[in-house]
Amino acid sequence: MMEIRIIKETENPLLKRREIVFEIQHPKGRTPTIAEAREAVSALKKTPVEAVYVRNLKSVSGRQSSIGEAHVYFSTEDARIEPMHVRVANLPPDEKKRRKEELKKMRMEMKAKAAGGKK
């Protein structure tokens, strides 16, 4: 059972979000994935999962806890400003893999198209 606690919370009205530093206790368990941490923050703040993005999550050495940072947007529309790599990192593992493959294919096509025009 994971237990989550807010360490610091600041509001950023310009970007329409709350910036949160949190700690997740995971005794006798593994470090949670970013997707699991995202769901925990979403449940704690009572916001849709689509409006929460975990920016980073690191285990604390010698303790059974992790420290992370998350952005909680006021709406899912406001969350569109989050960079693509962060949005992909917050997906569930199977969906993340599929999305990374799509992005890789898209980049390869763009490179081929750009190289085809140069002679």
Q: What is the pLDDT of residue 37?
A: 94
Percent with pLDDT over 90 in the chain: 62
Rounded distance between C-alpha atoms, residue 7 and residue 19, angstroms: 11
Residue 41, φ and ψ in degrees, nearest 5: -65, -40
Residue 93, φ and ψ in degrees, nearest 5: -50, -45
Give the pLDDT confidence of 102-116 residue by residue, as tens digits. Answer: 888 988 988 888 887
Q: Residue 20: pLDDT above 90?
A: yes
Domains of the chain: 3-117 (3.30.70.330)
Rounded distance between C-alpha atoms, residue 71 and residue 19, angstroms: 5
Closest among 17, 3, 57 to 34, alpha carbons compared: 57
Structure tokens at 8: 């610091």
Give the pLDDT confidence of 33-64 residue by residue, as tens digits. Answer: 999 999 999 999 999 999 999 999 999 888 88
Structure tokens at 24: 């997740």
Tell which phi-psi region holds residue 20, choosing left (phi > 0), alpha (psi between -120 and 50) or beta: beta
